[in-house]
Chains A and B, each alone.
Chain A
Amino acid sequence: MDYIAGVWQDTHYQLIRVISMMLRFIFLVILIVTSVLKNVVSGQVPGRDKYQLLTMPFNQRPLTLYRGQLHGSTGYKFAVRTQYYDSEGEVVYLRNTGTGSVYHYYFIELRYGLTDFIELAAETNFLKRGIRSESTTYVSTTLPSSEQVTVNKLTEVKGMGDILLSAAVRFPLEYKWFDLALRGGLYLPSSRYEPQEPSHAVSGIKEENSYTVDYHYNNTNGFGVPVYELSGAFKLTLNKFTLNTGIVFSDPTKEGQNIRWEEALVERDFSYYDNSYSYLLNRTLTIYTSLHYQATGWFDIRLSGNYRKSDGGWTEYWGNKYSNPETRLFTIEPGFELQISPTLIICQNAGFPVKGKNSDAPFYLFTTVRFNMFPFLR
C-alpha cells in the first residue's frame, strides 16, 4: 500500500490502481489454478458433442470459448457524428454548422479456446473518417474586395489500429447460471503513428489575393504507445434472461512522441514543417451491462448500456504540458445475435448516445459476422 500511495496522489485513481493490481494478481492465480485443474474439471463440461457446443445458445454459453473452439469475427461499424457533448455536457449539433462527419470502422478478431477456461484472442481494426471544420472566408474590407481567402479544412484519420493481444480466464466450473471471467491484454502499435505530410491545395484563384485554400491533414489511427487493458466480466442466467456485466480498464504503458504539421504558403505552393511533441494518453474506464433475452435457440435479443470515462493524460503544446480534458459517454445499444448455421453467427448492434462530456456522440450501426468452428476436433 505504501508503494501504491507513493506513486498516486489522487485517491480516486489510487482506488482504481488497487483494483487493477488486484485484478492482475487474481488473474495470474486463476490462470495457474485453472491450468492445473483443467484435466480435473474438464469432465464437468457437457459431453463434447461438436454440434451441441457450436450451437450453444447465448444464455447457456460460458464467457470463454470451449477447448479447441475458434471464433473468427469480422465486423463493420458505420457511425454518423452529428452531435457532440461539450464540457458542460450540453449537446452541440455539428450538423447545424456543417461539421458533421461519418466514420467507417472495420474490425477483425480471432479467439481460441486453449482450454475450457482459458481463451486467447487477437484483434485489430481499420478506421477511416474525415472531420470537416467550419469554412471561413477572410476579407479585408466590407466593400467589394479583391482580397478574399476562403479556408476549408478537412482532417482525415485513416489507418490500421493497434493489435490487441489478450488472454481470458473464467471460473473453472461448468457454466450453469453464473460465470466470472478476467481478461488481460496489451495493445501493440501496428504501424507508423506519426501523421503523414498534409496535402493542402489552393483552388479557385480569381486574383492575387483572392482564392480558396483547402487544408487536408492526414492523421493515423492507433495509440502510438503500447496500452494495457484489464477487464472483468460477470454473467448471470435465469431461464431465457441473461445479465452480462463487466468493467474494462486501460492505461498507456508510457509517454509517447508525435509530430504536428504546420504549413506556409508561398506563391500558391505549400511548404510543410513538422514539430514534435510528447503526450500521455488518458486512462480509460468502461462499464457495460447488457440484458439478453433468448427468444429462440438461435436468436438472442439484447439491450446494453455502456459508460466510458477517460482522463489523466496530457498533451504538450509549445513546450507546455496541458492536461487532457475528462471525457465521458453513455450509450444505449439494442442489438441481436442470429445463429444462421452452426458455423455462422451474425450480430448487430445500434448505438444511441444518451449523455456525455467532451465527447463525440455518434449514432452507429455495428455488424459482425462470426465464424464458429472446432478446426481440430473431428
Chain B
Amino acid sequence: MRKTNILRNIGIVAGIFIPLILSNSCEHSEYDLLDPAEAGIWTLFDTTDGLPSNEVTEIKRDSRDNLWFTFPGYGTAKYDGSDWIYFRTANSPLLTNIVNCLAEDADGKILFGTSEGISILNDENEWDSYVDSVTSMYINTIKVASNGWIWVGTKEQGFYVNNGSGFVKTYSETYKNVNVIEEDADGNIWLGTDNGLIRWDGSGYSYLTAADNLPDNRVSALLSDSKERLWIGTRGGKTVSWIDSRGIHQLSLFTGADSCFINDIIEDRKGDIWFATYNDGLIRFDGVIPHSIKEVNGFPENSIYSIGEDKHGNLWFGLYSRGVARYTLPIN
C-alpha cells in the first residue's frame, strides 16, 4: 500500500511536469531586434551627404532591394543600404541627365525615363536605350504591367506600349500629356492625362473626366492599393478620389485649401495611404482620418515630388529643394 501511494504520487506529478522539465522553453530564436526609439524618426539626406542635387523627382525600389533616385539635371543614383552609386552622362551612357522617372522590367532591367528617351541598364551593368527617331520623347512616367508590357507616358507625345515586339506609339491631341500610369487589381491599365483618365481593359479604352466625379481633369498620381482601390490624385481638385467595386468616392484631405496638387501616392506596410503634394505637405490617410504633416511640424518642406519604400518598410520622400527625407514607421 505504501509503495503504491509513493508510486502514484510520483506518477501524477511527474506526468504533469516532466514535459515542463524537458521543454525547450528557453530556446528562443535570435533576431536582430530594432530599438523602439528608432521608430517614427525622420532623417534628412541632402547635398551635404553627397547627393548630387536636392531636387528628387522619383524614388523606386528594385527587385534586389536597391533604392533608385532620379535628380533632374543631375542623373540618377542607386542606394543599396550603405553605398551610393551615381549615374550621369559623364560616367555612363545615360541619354541625358534630365531623368524624370524609372521602372524595372520583367527581366530585371532598370528603365530610366529621360527628356530624350529611355535609357536601359541591365544587372550586368550594360546599357541600352530607346528613342523615337521621328519626334521628341520627353518621358513623364514608365509602368511595367504584370503581363510584362511596358507603358510609357510622355509630355505632348501621348504614350507608348511595348508588348515585347517593340514600342508602339498612341497619340491624340486630347490625351497628349500622360502624367502617370498604373495597373489595378484586375489588370486594367489606367493612364492619367491632363484631360482625365483613360482605362485600357485589354480590349478597348474608356474614359473618365471631372464630369464623372473626378476631382479635376489633370490627373497626376495613381495608386492601386492592397484593398483593391484605385486612388486618383489630381492637380486641381479639392479632394482625392478612389474607385472600388462600389464606384467612385471622394476624400477630403482637410488641407483647408480650395485645391490640392497631388504628386504621388503610396501605401505603406501599415496600410496607410500617403499623399505627396505641392505646397500642402504630406498627408497620411489611416483609413478614416487624413493627418497632415508640414513644415510647421518639423517636416523639411511642404512640396514633395515622390514617395518610395525600402526593404525595411521605411518611407523615402523626394523633396523639391531639400533632398530626401527618410521616415521609419511608428509602432503605435
Tell me, in angstroms, the Cα distance from A252 to B31 when the chains sit together.
16
Given contacts A140-B255, A275-B271, contact A24 B21 (CB under 8 A): yes
B13 within 8 A of A: yes
Any chain B CB within 8 A of the CB of A135?
no
Q: Is the CB of B10 within 8 A of A31?
A: yes
Residues B254 and A28 in contact, CB atoms below 8 Å apart: no
Say whether B312 faces chain A, with CB atoms less than 8 Å apart.
Answer: yes
How close is A301's CB to chain B, nearest CB, in angstroms?
34
Contact of B331 among A8, A255, A273, A322 (CB under 8 A): A322
Chain A binder among B33-41, B113-121, B210-218: B33-41
Q: Are A147 and B26 in contact (CB under 8 A)?
A: no
Q: Is the CB of B26 within 8 A of A115?
A: no
CB pair B249 A255 closer than 8 Å? no
CB pair A139–B20 under 8 Å, yes or no, is no
Which residues does chain A contribute within 8 Å of B64, judged by CB atoms? none
Residue of B nearest to A141 (CB): B256
Q: Closest CB-CB distance, A26 to chain B, in whole Å?
A: 11
The residue among B5, B27, B254 with the most chain A CB atoms within 10 A of its own CB is B254
Q: Contact: B12 with A114, CB < 8 Å?
A: yes
Are B227 and A323 in touch, CB under 8 angstroms? no
Taking CB as reference atom, which chain A residue is nearest B273? A264
Q: Is A180 an interface residue (CB 8 A)?
A: no
Contact among B14, B27, B35 for A31, CB-based, below 8 A: B14
Q: Whole-angstrom distance from the CB of A332 to the nearest CB of chain B?
A: 30
Instruction: Tell whether A114 pairs with B9 under 8 Å between CB atoms, given A165-B16, A184-B17, A321-B34.
Output: yes
Does A167 count as interface, using CB distance less than 8 angstroms? yes
Partner of A140, one of B12, B14, B246, B252: B252
Give which listed residue, A7, A31, A323, contacts B36 with CB less than 8 A. Answer: A323
The answer to whether B246 and A228 touch across the interface, beta carbons within 8 angstroms, is no
Task: Verify A20–B34 contact, CB threshold 8 A.
Answer: no
Given contacts A32-B10, A36-B6, A209-B252, contact A320 B313 (CB under 8 A): yes
If A147-B254, A263-B288, A323-B36 touch, whether A167 touches B13 (CB-CB below 8 Å) is yes
Task: Using known A-B contacts A24-B21, A275-B271, determine if residue A264 contacts B288 with beta carbons closer than 8 Å.
Answer: yes
Judge whether B287 and A265 touch: CB under 8 Å.
yes
CB-based contact A38/B249 at 8 Å: no
Cβ contact within 8 Å between B34 and A251 = no
If A264-B287, A266-B249 touch, whether A228 touches B25 (CB-CB below 8 Å) is yes
What residue of chain A has the Cβ atom nearest to residue B31's Cβ? A321
Q: Return the CB mask of A266-287 against B: 1 if under 8 Å, else 0.
A: 1100010101000010000000
User: Which residue of chain A has the shortest Cβ distance to B271 in the bound complex?
Assistant: A262
Contact A318 B34 (CB under 8 A): no
Across the two chains, which residue of chain A brings its CB closest to B269? A318
Counting CB contacts under 8 A, is B29 at the interface? yes
Question: Is A338 part of the contact surface with B, judged by Cβ < 8 Å?
Answer: no
Cα–Cα distance between A213 and B290 once the two chains are bound (Å): 13
Q: Mark B154-191, 1 if CB is under 8 A from A, else 0.
A: 00000000000000000000000000000000000000
Q: Are A39 and B26 in contact (CB under 8 A)?
A: no
Query: In the assembled complex, which residues on chain A have CB atoms less than 8 Å from the CB atom of B288?
Result: 149, 151, 213, 263-265
A315 to B331, CA, bound (A): 9
Closest CB of chain A to B30's CB: distance in Å?
8
CB of A155, distance to nearest CB on chain B (Å)? 12
Scan residues 257-284 of chain B and give those whose CB is less than 8 A from a CB of chain A.
268-271
Nearest chain B residue, comparing its CB with the CB of A272: B287
Do the beta carbons of B17 and A28 come within 8 Å of each other?
yes
Interface residues on B, range: 35 or more
Q: A265-B288, A267-B249 are in contact. Are A39 and B271 (CB under 8 A)?
A: no
Chain A residue at minimal CB-CB distance from B242: A266
Bound Cα distance from A115 to B32, whole angstroms: 48
> Shortest Cβ distance from B136 into chain A, in angstroms?
42
In chain A between 126 and 158, which residues have their CB closer than 8 angstroms to a CB of chain B? Answer: 138-141, 145, 147, 149, 151
CB of A38 within 8 A of CB of B6, answer: yes
With a cutoff of 8 Å between Cβ atoms, the chain B residues found around residue A114 in the complex are 9, 12-13
A17 in contact (CB, < 8 A) = yes
Q: Contact mask A19-61 → B, CB, 8 Å, 1/0? A: 0100010011001100110110000000000000000000000
* Contact of B34 with A323 in the complex, beta carbons under 8 Å: yes
In-complex Cβ contact of B13 among A31, A141, A265, A271 (8 A): A31
Q: Which of A313-341 contact B (CB under 8 A)?
A: 314-315, 317-325
Whole-angstrom distance between the alpha carbons of A253 and B33 in the complex? 19
The answer for the CA separation of A120 and B17 in the assembled complex, in Å, is: 11
Tell whether, in the assembled complex, residue B20 and residue A39 are in contact, meaning their CB atoms are under 8 Å apart: no
Tell whether A317 pairs with B39 under 8 Å between CB atoms, given A184-B17, A262-B270.
Answer: yes
Q: Confirm or deny: B208 has a beta carbon within 8 angstroms of a beta carbon on chain A.
A: no
Apart from A36-B6, A318-B270, A321-B31, list 19 A-B contacts with CB within 8 A: A8-B26, A17-B26, A35-B6, A138-B290, A139-B254, A141-B256, A167-B13, A167-B17, A184-B17, A186-B20, A213-B288, A252-B28, A253-B25, A255-B28, A317-B331, A318-B329, A320-B313, A322-B331, A324-B36
For the complex of A and B, the 8 pairs showing the least CB-CB separation, nearest first, are A318-B269, A141-B256, A264-B287, A323-B33, A140-B254, A140-B256, A253-B25, A35-B9
A-B contacts, 27 listed (Cβ < 8 Å): A8-B26, A24-B20, A24-B21, A31-B10, A31-B13, A35-B6, A114-B9, A114-B13, A118-B13, A139-B254, A140-B252, A209-B252, A228-B23, A251-B26, A252-B25, A253-B24, A254-B28, A262-B270, A266-B246, A314-B33, A315-B331, A318-B268, A319-B312, A320-B312, A322-B35, A323-B34, A323-B35
